[in-house]
Structure formats: C-alpha cells, structure tokens
Amino acid sequence: MRDVGKTFANGVTALAGFSLDVEEGEFLSLLGPSGCGKSTVLRMIAGLTAPTQGEITHASPQAYRGSGRALDFVFQEPTLMPWATVYENVALPLNIANLSPAEARPRVDDAIARVGLAAFAGAYPRELSGGMKMRVSIARAIVGRPRILLMDEPFAALDEITRFKLNNDLLELWRSLRVTVVFVTHSVFESVYLSSRIVVMTPRPGRAFADLSFDTPYPRPAGFRTSADYAANCRVTTEALYDAMGSAAA
C-alpha cells in the first residue's frame, strides 16, 4: 500500500498517507486506537472498499491463482448461520465455489479438525461457546486455503482464558498452513504475543507510525507470556503506541 488515503462519503478521513508492505508468510498485526482506520486497511486489502488516494498492489498476483483463494476474512462476530450445523457453516464457501459435496468433504473435515472441533461437526451454533463459534468462523475462513488471512479483532469479545487458548491455536494454524496473517487488534499484549511484526498506527487519520519486528522465535515457548522477553517487547510496543497517540495531538 503506497500513500493510501481514504475519505468516506460523509467527509470522514479514516486514513492519510498510509504505506505498508506485507511480506509473504509473516504474522503482521496492525495496532492502534479504535477508529484509527485498522478495519479500513483490512477492507482495502480485501478489495471490499477502494482507496480514495494512493495505490494497493499485490506483488505477485499469479501466486493467488490456482490451488486456493487469495484471501479470507475473520471478523469479531463469528457470523454463523444459526440454522446450519458446524459442518454446513464451514462448507459454505466451497458450496458457493460450486465444489461437489464429495470434493468438499475432505477439505471441510480437515478445516474442522484443525480448529479442534471434529467432535462437533453436527452441532448447531446455539450449542457452542463463544470460543467454539470463533473456531468455526476460523475453519470457514481456512477451508478455501487462502494465501492471506485477514483477521479483524477476532478474539476481542472472548474471555481472557479462551483468548489465550485461541492465540496458541491460531499460531499453530499459521505455522502449519504457512498462511500470511494480517491481524487487527487494539491490544498491545495480544499483538506482542502473536506477531512477527507490529505496525503501530496513529489516531485518525491513520498512518503507520512505527514498524516493530521482534526476533522471539516460533513456536513461542510455553513460558513466553510470563517471560522477561515478552515484558520487554510489550514495553517497547506500549511506548510506540503512546508516541503514536502523542504525535496526533501535536
């Protein structure tokens, strides 16, 4: 994304001079206060809304043809069909893509197993906890084998213990699927735990204020959340966020 700006029809300028390179295979978090334009960035990457300034290019469009979908989205709300089972919800993108039930089945089974819900394929959303519904939503996003997974505060509505578990499981999915993740959050702690790289944004109109890379290796050890390394990374990120907030007021 090069010098991207977005001004909505109502005159609100969500982004101005926003530049970002997303590298293949990274786990990138966009961190910033509510309203700074994070969701707008994701929606523009997905082609759901167009920039009013600047440009967005995919370095190798041919890489997105063939085996899988270019990208898929996970939202804060799981947005499941309440009348359909877990299996039917996860199968939806393949049905829309006109795969036959026989072609779809192994892929749907695989996606459901990867999020740990193999025993719940026949369950309905009302029978599932919030964390399980989010797992279904993630399974539906990975069933099309996207190259890029766009995640918009997917765990913000979950309790902390569930969120920690889903953080770990998401990192395992990211590693095993070799998917590029662009993850939106306003949590310093979540972004530091998950990311190989964090782009800190200014308040609206959002632009990239700091670009932080941490060399903590993956898989991140069990004690990472309570380690001095994690605390130090959180401090650096918090300071960058404070500086980003201050830069807007100036």
Name the residue nearer to ligand ADP (CB basis): 8 or 218. 8
Q: Does 35 bind ligand ADP (CB under 6 A)?
A: yes
When asked if residue 40 is in the footprint of ligand ADP (CB under 6 A), the reply is: yes
* 94-115: burial string, b at 16+ Cβ within 10 Å, e else: beeeebeeeebeebbbebbebb
Q: Which residues ranging from 87 to 126 are in contact with ligand ADP (CB under 6 A)?
A: none
Considering only the stretches 9-17, 83-91, 209-217, 219-227, report the one whose residues sit in contact with ligand ADP under the rule CB under 6 A.
9-17
Tell me the window of 28-36, 109-117, 119-127, 140-148 that interacts with ligand ADP (CB under 6 A): 28-36
C-alpha torsion 7→2→46→211, nearest 10: -100
3-state secondary structure of 183: strand
Nearest approach, Cβ of 218 to ligand ADP (angstroms)? 26
Does 17 help bind ligand ADP (rule: CB under 6 A)? no
Q: For residue 50, give the DSSP letter.
A: -
Give the binding range for ligand ADP (CB under 6 A) out of 8-16, 111-119, 187-195, 209-217.
8-16
Residues 199-238 that bind ligand ADP (CB under 6 A): 204
90 vs 58: CA distance, rounded Å = 27
Question: Which one, of 228, 219, 110, lies nearest residue 168 by Cα?
Answer: 219
CB 196 within 8 A of CB 27: yes
* CA dist., res. 5 & res. 172, Å (int): 34
Q: Is 38 in the site for ligand ADP (CB under 6 A)?
A: yes
Query: Smallest Cα–Cα separation from 86: which of 68, 103, 109?
Result: 109
In the bound state with ligand ADP, the residue whose beta carbon lies nearer, of 40 and 137, is 40
* Per-residue interface string for the shown chain with ligand ADP, residues 175-204, x marking contact by CB under 6 A: -----------------------------x
Determine the Cα–Cα distance for residues 107 and 103; give it in Å rounded to an integer.
8
Structure tokens at 82: 């309440």
- The reply on whether position 36 binds ligand ADP by CB under 6 A is yes
Toward ligand ADP, which CB reaches closer, 49 or 168?
49
37 binding ligand ADP? (CB under 6 A):
yes
Q: What residues line the site for ligand ADP (CB under 6 A)?
A: 8, 10, 12, 14, 32, 34-40, 204
